[in-house]
Structure 1
Amino acid sequence: MFVVTVTYTAPLDEVDRWRPAHGEWLNDLIARRLLLMAGRQPQSVGGVYIAPGMRAAEIDLLLATDPYVVNGVAEHHVVEFTPLLMAAGLEELQSQG
């Protein structure tokens, strides 16, 4: 499983230009369960995604298609982890680590 942080590297007016395409990209990935959740960080500095288990090379290829990255307004930082402890009802995530 992966936690991905997104950091904007351009002024917000440039980021906002690509926000609709980025939103469509996120919605598609969530619908296909390639991302489990996504959200904004406070202070409009970027965002955070949670992605299920896949090979590290696959997550890198996937993130390279983010319209924010393609258009040079954000960068990603990826942390891989193995879920061991979780709240009741989220046990299926353990097998996705």
Structure 2
Amino acid sequence: MFVVLLTYTAPIEEIDYVLPDHADWLTKQYENGHFLASGKRNPCIGGVIVTRPMARGKLDAILATDPFALQHLATYEVIEFSPTRTAPELRPVNEAVAH
């Protein structure tokens, strides 16, 4: 499982211009079953994505298709973690405790 921290590297006006494309990209990732949660950071300096378990290379390939990445508007810090506890409603997506 991964937590991805996006940090904007461009003025918010440029981010806002590409935001609809980024939102469409997020929708596609949810539809494909890759992401569990996402949202803006507070203060609004970027975003956060929580992914389902997957290979790191697959995640890197997915992130490379984000319009923010394609237009060099954000950087990505990827944090891998192995949850050992999960709320009951998340157990089906946590391979570590689902068995």
Q: What TM-score results when the alignment is normalised by the length of structure 2?
A: 0.92
Q: Which TM-score applies when normalising by structure 1?
A: 0.93
Matches within 5 A, 1:1-97: 1-95=1-95
Structure 2: where are the runs of 5+ without partners?
Answer: none
Displacement after TM superposition at 1:96 (Å): 6.9
Q: Deviations over 1:61-97 (max 9, x none)?
A: 1101000010011111001111110112221122179
Change (3 A) 1:48 1:96: farther
Instruction: Give, in whole Å, the separation in 2 of the partners of 1:49 and 1:15.
Output: 17
Off by >6 Å, runs of 4+ in structure 1? none
Does the 8 Å CA contact 1:10/1:74 hold for their aligned counterparts?
Answer: yes
